[in-house]
Amino acid sequence: METDYLKTERTVGDTLECERQQFTVLCEKGRAVSQIALDDDYNLAEYKPDITKLIEQKGQVRIEEIKTEKDLVKLRGTLHFEVLYRTNLLDGGFGSVQGDIPFQETVHMQGTQEFDNVRVNTQLEDLSVAMINSRKLEIRALITLQLQRKETCVHALATNIQHADETVQTRMMQVEALELLEQKKDISRFRTELTLPSNKPGIQEMLWYSLQPRAIESRISDGQMEISGELFVHMVYRGEEEHEQLQCLEQAVPMQVSMPVDADGQELAWVHVRLAGGELEKAEDFDGENRMLRLEAVLEIEDTLWQERTLTLLEDAYATNRELRCDCEEVMLQKLLIKNDSRFRLQERMALETEDSILQICSCIGEVQVEDVTPMENSLDIAGILKLRLLYVVANDEMPMMTVEETFPFRESVEVPGLQPQLMNFSYELEAGIDQLTSTLLDPGQVECKAQIRLCVLMLEHIKMKNMEKIEAQELDLQQMRKRPGMVGHIVKKGEKLWDIAKEHRITMEQLMEQNERSKEELLPGEKLLIVNTIG
């Protein structure tokens, strides 16, 4: 902070009014974490063939309603699951089922009131599907809910005193802070069509697919926020030309969507993108063959925009001929500490549990989960896991598809210059995702997986400062002031400023500097000053 000293003009009356500037900040009011364990049975519909062996599974947590009450947040949602299995049909077919398990959870969050805005991040920690019998499945899941309550606060910051005369002295300070411009959540849809490669047969039946966004970036330009990246498509299907031959398709689809924002690109942006849903359907090409795919992805985009500002605010005031009583309130402003995109690589090997020849790796799906974040001096220590799930085809007519899943821990340090956890009040946002993921078959029993993981950190320092709320003027006891010596000596103490000395003796800064023939305000401990009483 930098400090300036100003002389202003006079107000008549007992109360001095301040000039003010409206300043909007985003205040974090609380966080909470809760876990839900789900355990439910699912019965196959009558038209579905019997299950002989489970092959693949996936799940997604969907929050449908968030309701806040005093000190409580009530959540309602579903766990959507899909399962691929081997059937009992004579032709050795495959079947799939999908369903939803509803859940409700009440989370205690101190200070929450009705109509508060609460953001909920979900993480599917574990999903387990087991056969009870050929017509019934047991679905077990562990879900972590991370709740964050934020509130838009508008501060009326004092920037000066209105209509004060030359007897009123003001001290100004410069503060760097982030002003909130926008916070919103929106839904965007991405649609495109894909054509099968020429060396792949047409699609007779789609058995399984998965969609995974990767390398998501955001950019603001000319009032538009552009979200770009890749949507990785994995699909297993039965080909038209070879009835029993399973086919795998793995393709990175360039993705770009845009949404309007009230910004020009100079702002600080924090953007969270989540795949809320997606559909992949076969379609006919111009020749009437099933060689096309229609892809639709639903993206949930949450953005927060700030503008970096340098504010000149009123820090202190006194009068040479009156007593000023300054009442202050404490406000919290935010300052950008760092926004850091960090990337690192993991290279791991997975063992394939099969004695059959491996024909093809169909998909390698990865998920990054952050387990612990520890603020250190000048860095954030981040520990987490990379979950990998591999789907592959083997030379076995009874069970041609198999899966393997493994978890690999990681620990990475992200540089945050200036971070001092013991001395600072701060908050952070952290996004962890996968930019690249490849799998290579090394030998019949091992696959090498290479992943590039991105850790995006936004860290804000919270600055507590006093905002001038009210200034009341009272008359001085002039008789008592005249009893003061006409001239006194003052020895500068450590940390003492020229402003403090002038305020104590009710003279202006200019008078004090002139009396001591000084051109600079800086003082050294032990210096001697001569102070002449100007109230006679």
**Computed from CA positions of residues 468, 469, 470, 476, in that sequence, does the dihedral angle turn out positive or negative?**
negative
Per-position DSSP letters for 116-185, written without gaps between them: --EEEEEEEEEEEEEEEETTEEEEEEEEEEEEEEEEEEEEEEEEEETT--TTEEEEEEEEEEEEEEEEEE
The pLDDT of residue 504: 87
pLDDT in tens, the chain (536 residues): 445 544 444 444 578 899 999 999 998 888 999 999 999 999 999 999 999 999 999 999 999 999 999 999 999 999 999 999 999 876 668 889 999 999 999 999 999 998 888 999 999 999 999 999 999 999 999 999 999 998 899 999 999 998 878 889 999 999 999 999 999 899 999 999 999 999 899 998 898 999 999 999 999 888 889 999 999 999 999 888 765 568 889 999 999 999 888 888 788 999 999 999 999 999 999 989 999 999 999 999 999 999 999 999 999 999 988 889 999 999 999 999 999 999 999 999 998 878 888 888 889 999 999 999 999 999 999 999 999 999 998 888 788 888 999 999 999 999 999 999 998 899 999 999 999 999 999 888 889 999 999 999 999 999 999 999 999 988 877 676 667 777 888 999 998 899 999 998 888 999 999 999 888 888 889 999 998 877 65
CA 420, 120, 300: angle at the middle one, nearest 5?
A: 105
The pLDDT of residue 10: 41
Q: 156 vs 313, 325, 327, 467, 509, CA distance in Å?
A: 11, 19, 14, 8, 28
Q: How many CB atoms lie within 10 A of CB 403?
A: 18
The pLDDT of residue 12: 43
Domains of the chain, each with CATH number or no CATH? 28-155 (no CATH), 174-318 (no CATH), 340-463 (no CATH), 478-532 (3.10.350.10)
- The beta strand positions in 70-93, using DSSP E, are 72-87
Per-position DSSP letters for 253-290, written without gaps between them: EEEEEEEE-S--S-SEEEEEEEEEEEEEEEE--TTS-S
SS3 string, 193-236, reads EEECCCCCCCEEEEEEEEEEEEEEEEEEECCEEEEEEEEEEEEE
Please tell me the distance from the alpha carbon of residue 373 to that of residue 504, in angstroms, as a whole number.
Answer: 48
| Segment 60-104, tens digit of pLDDT | 999 999 999 999 999 999 999 999 999 987 666 888 999 999 999
3-state secondary structure of 9: coil
Helix (H), strand (E) at residue 307: strand 292-319
**Computed from CA positions of residues 19, 22, 26, 29, in that sequence, does the dihedral angle turn out positive or negative?**
positive
CA nearest 388: which of 343, 342, 456, 438? 438
The pLDDT of residue 91: 62
Structure tokens at 522: 């800086």
The pLDDT of residue 11: 40
Please tell me the distance from the alpha carbon of residue 484 to that of residue 20, in angstroms, as a whole number.
Answer: 37
3-state secondary structure of 498: helix
Helix (H), strand (E) at residue 512: helix 509-515
361 contacts 392 by C-beta, under 8 angstroms: yes
